[in-house]
Structure 1
């Protein structure tokens, strides 16, 4: 049965920034198709809520609260996965983000932080997890990027550059880790999560984003989770080094940032 290819029975996945939004939904989606999960984020209360959802599905969830910006914290995620669940098969690098800013207002610190938070975190966790993936004969690494890494627009100097770098990292890792480990990315467009709260609280801005999206709606966390399941399962076994854009068809920013000429 073709649906059997999407199962993750007996697998263990690490998902970062899994306390809410995309990361939380990927974790519960993995549980729905049979995986146990190790979930990390800053806020323990949010992680506990996600863990309860996973356990209600009959799967195991291990909560690892903490600041994921350091290599040491990523090491804790890996060590906990091995000590508590005995293996690692899938890594989802979902930690990231950065607020749009005009180029001349973007500080060196903000630029460095965007690169570290979006790219270095993925490098660290992946590198630490790879020996354990190899112990299982291989596995899958999935980086959550953004369509901002593919287009150029005002306000995205730090965030867009970081996500573009993460997409490039994905391609290089796929070559280095083939044939045993597949590495892919998903580029979300405008997804209705708490990250868009400021926009979603203003109906005119929300409508502007919808109007600027060819499919005529904002994305949902289910849209991203479905792609994550595909790429992390046997259904995606002949896919590596690729970015799947789940973006409603947009070719650039679907919201005018209002940044004036210099």
Structure 2
């Protein structure tokens, strides 16, 4: 059956930033599809709750509290997976993010921080995971980029530049790691995570965002988790070096920060 191609039974996955939001949804989805999962973020209580959901599916969870803004901490998750489960097959580089800031207030240091958190961490874990994946016969990497890496909006110079870099890093890494390791990315639109709480909690702003989105709603973490499962599973076996847009059809930002002309 075609649904069997979405199974990842017997595989081991690492999901960064998996205490809540997209990362948590991805970790649970992979477990439901048959994988044991290493979950990691800063807050141990959040991870424990996600681990309970994974165990409820019949799979195993390994919790690693860590500050994943540091590339070395992200890289260490590959070793943690092998030590806990004996192999590593799937990596979801979900951790990242940068707050909006006007261009002239975005220092070089702010840009470097955005690049480290969104790109260097993904590179560190991917390169650390590759030997274990090759030993297991192959694997899949899914990077979480953003629609702001391909469309323009005021206030997103650092974040958008970093996410655009992650998208192209995906294409380049896919060439280097083919044919045994597939590398893809998802350009995510507005999704109901804690990062959007300040705006989606305001009914007026939320209604404007939904009206500006062709599908007329804000995305759910599970919308992205389903795409992650496709790219990580045999269902996506002939896909590498691609950026899948999961953004409700956006061709322009659906959130105006109201930054004035200079």
2:226: which partner in 1?
226
1:41: which partner in 2?
41
Q: Deviations over 1:211-239 (max 9, x none)?
A: 00001111001100000000000000000
CA distance in 1, matches of 2:169, 2:71: 17
Give the CA deviation at 1:138. Answer: 0.6
Q: What's the secondary structure of 1:184's corresponding residue?
A: strand
1:95: which partner in 2?
95
Q: What's the secondary structure of 1:62's corresponding residue?
A: strand
Aligned-pair RMSD on alpha carbons? 0.8
Checking the alignment, whether the CA contact within 8 Å between 2:30 and 2:229 is kept in structure 1 is yes
Deviation above 6 Å: which 4+ runs of structure 1? none
CA distance in 1, matches of 2:145, 2:84: 29
Count of matched residue positions in the alignment of Structure 1 and Structure 2: 262
1:30: which partner in 2?
30
Give the CA deviation at 1:10. Answer: 0.1
Give the CA deviation at 1:175. Answer: 0.4
Q: TM-score, normalised by structure 1?
A: 0.99
Give the CA deviation at 1:254. Answer: 0.4
Q: Deviations over 1:132-164 (max 9, x none)?
A: 000011110000000000111211100000000
* Structure 2 stretches lacking a partner, 5+ long: none
Q: TM-score, normalised by structure 2?
A: 0.99
Moved more, 156-165 or 247-256: 247-256
1:20: which partner in 2?
20
Counterparts of residues 2-21 of structure 1 (less than 5 Å): 2-21=2-21
2:133: which partner in 1?
133
Q: Deviations over 1:19-56 (max 9, x none)?
A: 00000000000011100000110111100100000001
1:83: which partner in 2?
83
Give the CA deviation at 1:72. Answer: 2.6
